[in-house]
Amino acid sequence: MPHGSKSLALVLGAGPMTAVLDPRLRAHLLIQTDPGAAFAVRDYLERVPGVTDASSTTGAFDAVVQVAVPDELGLQRVLVASRNAPGLSRLCLCRCPLR
């Protein structure tokens, strides 16, 4: 990327469109929920600012959430909001390498 330029990534989720300027931090959240709460938790997480995608899964985890934020503070905000999801039983953070 040339010096002084900014990249603009438009991130689409189920909620309103979010613009993230040069997202430096990317992560995946592996989510386990209380029985019967998987879809409600996924829907809740889709509305958290910084979440770019939330998908239901089968197997050990009930949902996988993709996150793109500009900095560590943004990631911490996503984690705090995610941990407040009603029906969430476990959250595992997987950080992606910086680009």
Average pLDDT over residues 17-23: 53
| Residue 10 forms part of a structural domain | no
Res 99: pLDDT: 65
| Residue 12 forms part of a structural domain | no
Q: Are strands 88-95 and 63-69 parallel, antiparallel or unpaired?
A: unpaired
Between vectors from CA 72 to CA 32 and to CA 12, what angle results, nearest 5°? 65
Domain count, the chain: 1
Q: What is the pTM of this model?
A: 0.75
| Residue 3 forms part of a structural domain | no
Res 9: pLDDT: 39
* φ, ψ dihedrals at 48, nearest 5°: -80, 125
How far apart (Å, rounded) are the C-alpha atoms in residues 88 and 64? 13
How far apart (Å, rounded) are the C-alpha atoms in residues 86 and 61? 16
Res 70: pLDDT: 92
| Residue 15 forms part of a structural domain | no
How far apart (Å, rounded) are the C-alpha atoms in residues 92 and 64? 10
| Residue 68 forms part of a structural domain | yes
Instruction: Give the domain CATH number at 63.
Output: 3.30.70.920
Domain that holds residue 63: 23-95
